[in-house]
Structure 1
Amino acid sequence: MNAIDLYRWMLTSRLLESALGRKNPRWFSTEGEEAAIVGSFAELRTGDIAVPHYRGPFVAYLMRGADMKRLACQAFGKADGYGKGRSMPFIGPAQLGFIPWVAGDLGTSLGMATGAALALQRQGQGHVCVCSFGDGTSNRGDFHENVNTAALWKLPIVYVCQNNGWAISQAARTYLPAPIVDRAQGYGIPGVAVDGNDVEAVQAAVRQAMERAREGAGPTLIEARTWRKHGHWANDKTPYRTAIDQPDHPTDPLELMHERLIARKLASEADLEALYKDIEATVDQAVERALAGPDAGLAELGADEVFATAANA
């Protein structure tokens, strides 16, 4: 994926996530983390499997052809969403090679991703699984069990920790005694720390790890150090943040890439302004259409699959 496409997808993520957060105060916003997300999934090939973090999966879905309006429907619990409004709002199109995050508990996606990597290994067609998760999740037992298994069996998987420095309201400095990337040594696999605000740096690190996995050399642990621009959810006012928890001048991934495109003469200011307006219009239309759609009802929510009724008693 070239530089213009990387920027376009990051901008799409920023505008879509902002729009969803304005309409759904409990939405888990990704503003500030676009480079870590887009860079992680920019190198997927047909046949590869992606297991994105719950914070920011929509742009990963879009990059593989998902419908924006159906994703927005899922964020609002609408019947036309990919999960028909059911379960978590992060459900996406499994037919596009995703294992969506659907559990009510963090860390479970790591097991699904590792299992998928085992299946890919047995198929022997050179496909790879890319799994992303947060810094808080890296402290769960699921993380250690799955990375250990993947290292032992040399599974074709890339683990990307999307480290934004926060586990809900707890700063990483209070629960991480050492860099997450250092844990890779304990499993005998490569560990790579990368600037998570630089989409090209993330893309390059993941590409190298994917090539290694395709060759049968096993997993890689990547720590993409990024930042959470807002709170845990859209209307979180972050009263728990203090001066020590905030970087003085965090690098906005969009601003960084914007400047690079201009400096490399790959685009003009007018080009990028036109791109912004085009994506903004697309996002606004998708959100408006989603909000106008029908809410999920009993048929979509599957009440008869949970409770006994006259029809299934």
Structure 2
Amino acid sequence: MIPNDPATRPIDFLRGMLIIRKAEERLARDFKSGSLPGPVHLYIGQEAVAVGVCSQLGARDWITSTHRGHGHFLAKGGDPAAMFAEVYGRRSGICGGFGGSMHVADVSKGILGANGIVGGGIGLATGAALAAQLDGSGQVGVCFFGDGAAAQGVLGEALNLAALWKLPLILICENNGFSEFSPTGRVIAGAIFERAQPFGVPARRVDGNDVEAVAAATADAVTRAREGGGATLIEAITYRLHGHVEGESAFLKTQYRTGDEIEHWRRDDPIGRFAALLEARGELDPEGFELLEQEVKKIIEAAADSAGNDPYPDVDSLDAHLLGAA
């Protein structure tokens, strides 16, 4: 759905972010209506990171994701209908309906998968980068991970190996201000991007709500990786406008962020901000944005409605997905 092309036009950035936003808004409504089989962790507010990064990747480049992985899946070209079907637990889901919201993957598009293990994708992306290096394919491995995962030991291990072997690895930390329900400053010491310094790995911090800034930083990292220069760590400062998980108010006894804080970040919404920038540059008018939003919403609603009508997996097929099954 989003062209993976370094020459992506500004309107494609906007369209890509809208695809993610409308998909997540649909899932938010589905959760509230009780029509989902389980919880969902939504990406609303962070769209500029996924779109900015994936716009600089080719179809054969690898990405690994997080429990908040719908945005990465869609930005890398994943099929919205197959994603919805997976979240709904339907047979036509991208993982046959057996993975669910936290395990969307499509290896044919370089999407090695989301997972529920904090920092779980870091080692996978490092392995993908090593494989690309050994193959001489020119591919890169990209890992999306959150600020909470920056405290996992695997990050240091990956930086060490990437520095020693000059792996074509790009580490994207989406610092959205919270590790589940804890403010980042309470659980993470120091600046995350500076963790690469002892290993001699280039690193930078960018405005994660500025899709063009994210794309520019990624372009530099991709060029360096493809030319044999090794890894890069990028810390993108962003914010999740929804909670850690939909429905969290049902079990949280205390409020962990204020309404004023959420509204402050809502005014910096990456979609509205970029649309306003395009209008100021004369590349978009309000009517054009409304038409684009309507077009994207129609596509997403059709994909979700279609997926919701698909059959569930056959019970007899369950053992085909179990390790060691005949």
- State the TM-score, normalized to the length of structure 1: 0.91
Match of 1:14 in 2: 21
Shift of 1:88: 4.1
Size of the aligned set, in residue pairs, is 307
Match of 1:186 in 2: 198
Alpha-carbon spacing, 1:28–1:242, altered in 2? closer, same or farther (3 Å): closer
**Aligned partner (choices 48, 56, 59) of residue 61 of structure 2:** 48
Q: Does 1:280 align with 2:297?
A: yes
Alpha-carbon spacing, 1:118–1:304, altered in 2? closer, same or farther (3 Å): closer
What is the 5 A alignment of 1:226-245? 226-237=238-249, 239-243=254-258
Greater RCO, 1 or 2 (C-alpha within 8 Å, sep 6+): 1
- SS of structure 1 residue aligned to 2:295: helix
CA distance in 2 between counterparts of 1:303 and 1:124 reads 34
Match of 1:113 in 2: 125
Q: Does 1:94 align with 2:107?
A: yes
Asked if structure 2 preserves the Cα contact closer than 8 Å seen for 1:197 and 1:252, the reply is yes
Q: What is the identity, as a one-letter code, of the residue corresponding to 1:51? A: T
Shift of 1:96: 1.1
Percent identity for Structure 1 against Structure 2:
35
Name structure 2 gaps, 5 residues minimum. Answer: 1-7, 33-38
CA distance in 2 between counterparts of 1:68 and 1:241 reads 32
Q: Does 1:172 align with 2:184?
A: yes
| RMSD, aligned α-carbons | 2.1
What is the 5 A alignment of 1:52-71? 52-55=65-68, 57-71=69-83
Name structure 1 gaps, 5 residues minimum. Answer: none
Match of 1:126 in 2: 138
**Aligned partner (choices 122, 141, 162) of residue 174 of structure 2:** 162
CA distance in 1 between counterparts of 2:286 and 2:259 reads 35
Asked if structure 2 preserves the Cα contact closer than 8 Å seen for 1:150 and 1:157, the reply is yes
Alpha-carbon spacing, 1:244–1:70, altered in 2? closer, same or farther (3 Å): closer
Shift of 1:300: 4.2
Match of 2:269 in 1: 252
Match of 2:150 in 1: 138
**Aligned partner (choices 291, 296, 300) of residue 308 of structure 2:** 291
**Aligned partner (choices 5, 18, 27) of residue 12 of structure 2:** 5
Asked if structure 2 preserves the Cα contact closer than 8 Å seen for 1:190 and 1:221, the reply is yes
Q: What is the identity, as a one-letter code, of the residue corresponding to 1:266? A: E
